[in-house]
Amino acid sequence: MPEARAARAGAVNPQTEYIFDRFGIELPEFISDLVPKVEYFLPGPARTVRADTPLWSALALLGEGGGRLCPS
């Protein structure tokens, strides 16, 4: 899964830190809040349209960006 990334939710114990240091591997990113956020799933800034935009125009914009979701 190329979109997956390593992360950790807490402090690293000394044994784990030793192994990462020993092999020259950077510790995974620390995420203090594991509640899913939109920013974790969007590859860039959100594309938006005005409320009065015709549905066909909104769907065309969605298709251009390779999107899969159109919230209401």
- Tens digit of pLDDT at every position of the chain (72 positions): 888 888 998 899 999 999 999 999 999 999 888 777 777 766 677 777 888 989 888 888 877 766 666 565
Residues recorded for the chain? 72
Cβ atoms of residues 51 and 72 within 8 Å: no
Spatial distance between the Cα atoms of 68 and 32, rounded to a whole number of angstroms: 28
Q: Give pTM, 2 decimals.
A: 0.43
Provide the token pair at 54: 């015709």
Spatial distance between the Cα atoms of 46 and 35, rounded to a whole number of angstroms: 19
CA angle 29, 32, 34 (to 5 degrees): 95
